Amino acid sequence: MRLGALTPDRLRGPDFIRLYPDTYVGADTDLEDIRLRVQALHFWSNGRGVVAGPLAALAHGADCPWDDREVILGRRCRNPPDGVTVRVDVLAPGERVVALGAHLTSPVRTAFDLARRTPLVEAVAAVDALAFAKKFTADDLRAVADAHSGVRGIVQVREVLELMNPLAQSLPETRLRLGLLARGVPPAVCQHPVLLLTGRYVHPDLSWPHAKLALEYDGPSHRDITGQNRDAFRDGDLFDVGWTVVRVTSAMVHDPKAFDRLAVRVLRRLAA
C-alpha cells in the first residue's frame, strides 16, 4: 500500500478477502490451504506468534479431529480475530520449529497440547495421528509432559500416554481400538505383520495374532469398485493362512448398539 499499488478501497473490493486485520488474500485463493492458513496467522501476529493446536497438527501432515486456529503469544491479546484462540504459554527449547514459512509448535509439543483436550478418545486419536506422521514415541511425549507437569490438563495427558499407539494409521482406527477396549475387549495389535502364502506381508488395522483375527476399518478408499476388489483379494489371502477378517464401517463405530455387537463378536472369537 505504501507504494500505491493497492489502496484501502481496492482491498475492500471484490478482488480481495480479508482474513484478519491487515491480512488479505486474493479472492480466488483456496482458503482451506494449510500453508495459507498458517502464514495468515503468522502475518497477523507480525511474526511473533507460534501456530499451535489443530492447525499445527495439520501443518505437520497429521489428521486432527479439530480444525480451529490457535496461536501462542508472549503476551495477552485483548481482541483476537474471530475464530482465533490466543494463548499465553511457555515453550521450552526445541518446542517450536519453522515450517511452511511460519513458527509452529513442534510435533511433540503439538501432541502435548492436543492431549489436554477433551474428549479423551479424540485426544488420543489426534496424538496417534501426529505420532504416526512424525514418528515419535510415547517416551518423547512423556518427556514434554514431565517438563510441564503443573499445567492444566496434565492428568489427561498421562491417560493419553497409556492409550496412545504410534502405529495407528487413521483417526477411525484409534476410535475403533479404544471403543473395543472400553467394551472389555483385550488390547489389539496395530499393523501386525502377517505372512501370506505368496511371501508378501500384509498389516491389518487391528488384530489378535494368537486368535488369527483381524479387524479392518473400511474408510472411503474401500468403497469404490477398485477398493472392494482389493479388499476381497486381501481377505482371501488372509483366509488361506488361517485368518478371519471382520470389516468395520463408519456406521458400526458411530452406532453404540452396533459397536456393542461387534465387541461381542470379537470376544466370542477370542474365547473360541
Cα–Cα nearest to 101, from 33, 54, 53: 33
Span 188-237, pLDDT tens digits: 999 999 999 999 999 999 999 999 999 999 876 656 677 788 889 999 99
**Residue 243 — pLDDT band, cuts 50, 70, 90?**
very high
Q: How far does CA 224 lie from the centroid of its chain?
A: 24
pLDDT of residue 222: 58
Q: Parallel, antiparallel, or unpaired for β 201-202 and 194-195?
A: antiparallel
Q: Is the separation of the CB atoms in 161 and 140 below 8 Å?
A: no
Which has the higher per-residue pLDDT, 10 or 160?
160
Q: If you search the block for the grid coordinates 482491498, which residue do you land on?
A: 11
**How much is the mean pLDDT over the chain?**
93
Q: Is the separation of the CB atoms in 95 and 113 below 8 Å?
A: no
**Three-class SS state of 64:** coil
The residue extents of the domains of the chain are: 1-31, 34-163, 171-271
CA torsion sign for 152, 51, 54, 207 is negative
| DSSP structure class, residue 58 | H
pLDDT of residue 204: 97
* pLDDT surpassing 60 at residue 1: no
CATH class of 171-271: alpha beta
CB-based burial of residue 164 (10 Å sphere; 0-12 exposed, 13-18 middle, 19+ buried)?
buried
* CB atoms inside a 10 Å sphere around CB 214: 25
Q: Is the separation of the CB atoms in 208 and 271 below 8 Å?
A: no
Cis amide leading into 119 (omega within 30): yes
pLDDT of residue 220: 64
pLDDT of residue 3: 37
Which has the higher per-residue pLDDT, 11 or 266?
266
- Percent of the residues in the chain that have a pLDDT greater than 70, as a whole number: 96
Span 30-73, pLDDT tens digits: 989 999 999 999 999 999 999 999 999 999 999 999 989 999 99
